[in-house]
Chain A
Amino acid sequence: MVAAALQTVPEAGRSIAVDAVSHRFDLEGKPLPVLDDVSFDIEPGAFVALLGPSGCGKSTLLRLVAGLDHPVAGSIKVDGAKVGDPDPSRILVFQDPTLFPWRTVRANVALGLEAQGILKTEGRRVDAAIRMVGLEGFDKAYPHQLSGGMAQRVALARALVNRPNLLLLDEPLGKLDSLTRLAMQAELVSLWQQTGLTAVLVTHDVEEAIFLAQRVIVFGPRPARIVADLPVDLPYPRHRGDPQLADLRRQALGHLGLEASW
């Protein structure tokens, strides 16, 4: 019922079509290519992981899908429409929770509704989102009073309160301690299942990608190009000790040129 308050339409996830996208940065006048002719499609409601070495350009790809930057070449379409400016239906969750330190947990979660001017009428969505990430009772806390895991949960609630159709996760668990991280991986899966949105997770953690996603797209080093597209055809809830996961993990590491460590 909590999910119902956050998601009116079930199966509301969006499709993404990335077509021949290339991108580069200007680094002191020299062009630095970060994405090289990347193409893939994601069907509505899927959970897809983008896996690759640090700094390969996968986060840049996520920013392009969010609309924070625009690709130099190629096109990105969400539900058939070209991506323009940032929009609350496509929410990016960063590696750092980047909560606004001057706002309480509640006011942080309410940020999107306030910015869109619908906080008065839709205020109950704030409570629903806080409950969804299990932070009831922390409404009035300030960010500096929260642990890393709690702060990242607030960041997730701040995203979910907008009823996004597309959740873009840029290594959201990257800075958490390993136990919190395992707990939050399971929470991410359950949030995704409850809301039915499309989730794209950028990570450099092979196990995390395979444990969470239905499909893992593997990128090579910068400029990023796709080196493999692995379906993970296992039902949820998954078990970390599953031999099929171990096999997929070996495959993924092989594509990243790290099979020797297996």
Chain B
Amino acid sequence: MTTTETTLRLDVGPVTALQPVTLLAALGWFGAAALLSWWPDLTFQPLVRELSLTWAALGAVVGLFGLFGGRLGRAGAWTQLRGPWLFAIAVATVVWTVLTAKTGILPQPFFPTPQAMFEVFLYDWPKMLHSAWFSVLLLGQGFLWGAAAGFSIGIAMGWSRAFSYWSVPLLRYIGPLPATAWLPLAFFIFPTSGSASVFLIAFSTAFPVAVLTWSGVAAVNRDYYEIARTLGASPRFLILKVAIPAALPHVFVGLFMGLSTSFAVLVVAEMLGVEAGLGWYLQWAQGWAAYANMYGALFVMAAMCSGLITLLFRIRDRVLVWQKGVVRW
């Protein structure tokens, strides 16, 4: 909960149920629905009636919140806060409809109409969801392996002089190489394109995690070790209970960077070799010149990536609850 959110809520409170901005957003959605059904399309478009009914229904729901939002608990508080966004999205939808379906200023089929997008989501969602699920599984496997490997390597490098003597030059030389450069070789070496992709994703995750874990362990205040030693700590205790917890904030930065780069590797791997997943869906849609499907896949992919990053930040907030002033995502 950010401070602005709290103050916004305090300003309005439960005294008045009316949310004027939310009401305005409802009008925007009704307007979009009316414009869609009464202004004739340039070319034939599917599902015009269904889409305009959907928008009108959306306008009705938003309007309900506009009238009684103050009494509708958390959801009402959300519409109060995001009312301007609801309105802006309605306006953007109107602009989109006008530019594509109604006037053709943005040419078809490269800029699909709202109706075309609606059709894609209405009829192709099982395939998209399945692709997204496959992508998450592949990414999850690669990311977990890579995070585990990077974390172990980083701890060993921070702790053992001998290990860092041999591994630092290797890491410095091989680490910065983009994982995608290994792609042609990986598809040869590994028995399946799936295992090759897991390796590539793990590789791209492991590098930032290893570097940041290493620097996290190296940056641990020496006094912590001395205090633990005077209190009778064994070397094992020093690693598990001093070095690792102290390095965790760095480790999470590494995990964040690793996750971000692994998205790129995932998409490339799916486009070039794996026969499933959102990357593959993109590629497949391009083959059919199905532009609306491509936009749809991008939309789902953005939701997936953003969701995974959010999940990582949630985990970090729980683990690093002792830190003050952590960045909220």
Contact = CB atoms under 8 A, between A and B. Distances in A.
B110 interface: no
Nearest to B238: A115
A68 B322 contact: no
A121 B231 CA distance: 17
Contacts of A104: 322
Interface string A147-167: 000000000001000100000
A-B interface, 7 closest residue pairs, ranked by CB to CB distance from nearest: A112-B231, A115-B233, A88-B232, A86-B230, A116-B232, A102-B245, A98-B223
B224 to A, nearest CB: 6
A240 interface: no
B232 A94 contact: no
Contacts of A91: 230-231
A91 B323 CA distance: 28
A79 interface: no
A66 B230 contact: yes
Interface string A110-135: 01101110000000000000000000
A77 interface: no
A116 B231 CA distance: 8
A201 to B, nearest CB: 17
A142 B322 contact: yes
B322 A88 contact: no
A68 B224 contact: no
Interface in A55-102: 66-68, 85-88, 90-92, 94, 96, 98, 100-102
A90 B227 CA distance: 11
Nearest to B248: A102
B242 interface: yes
A87 B227 contact: no
Interface string A169-211: 0000000000000000000000000000000000000000000
Nearest to A89: B232
A249 B69 CA distance: 73
A115 B228 contact: yes
A144 interface: yes
Interface of B: 221, 223-224, 226-234, 237, 241-242, 245-246, 248, 320, 322-324
Contacts of B230: 66-68, 86-88, 90-92
A103 interface: yes
A88 B323 contact: no
A88 B223 CA distance: 16
Interface residues of A, number: 28
Q: Select the residue from A86, A102, A143 with max chain B CB neighbours within 10 A.
A: A102
Nearest to A155: B227
Contacts of A86: 226, 229-230, 232
A89 B61 CA distance: 70
Contacts of B229: 68, 85-86
Contacts of A68: 226, 229-230
Nearest to B222: A98
B230 to A, nearest CB: 4
Given A111-B228, A112-B231, 16 more contacts: A66-B230, A68-B226, A87-B232, A88-B230, A92-B230, A94-B227, A100-B224, A100-B246, A101-B322, A104-B322, A111-B227, A115-B233, A116-B232, A142-B322, A144-B322, A158-B231
B239 to A, nearest CB: 12
A31 to B, nearest CB: 22
B294 to A, nearest CB: 46
A61 to B, nearest CB: 16
A94 B322 contact: no
A94 B224 CA distance: 11
Nearest to B234: A115
A157 to B, nearest CB: 12
Given A68-B226, A100-B224, A114-B241, A162 B323 contact: no
A111 B231 contact: yes
Nearest to B229: A86
B232 A102 contact: no
A130 to B, nearest CB: 16
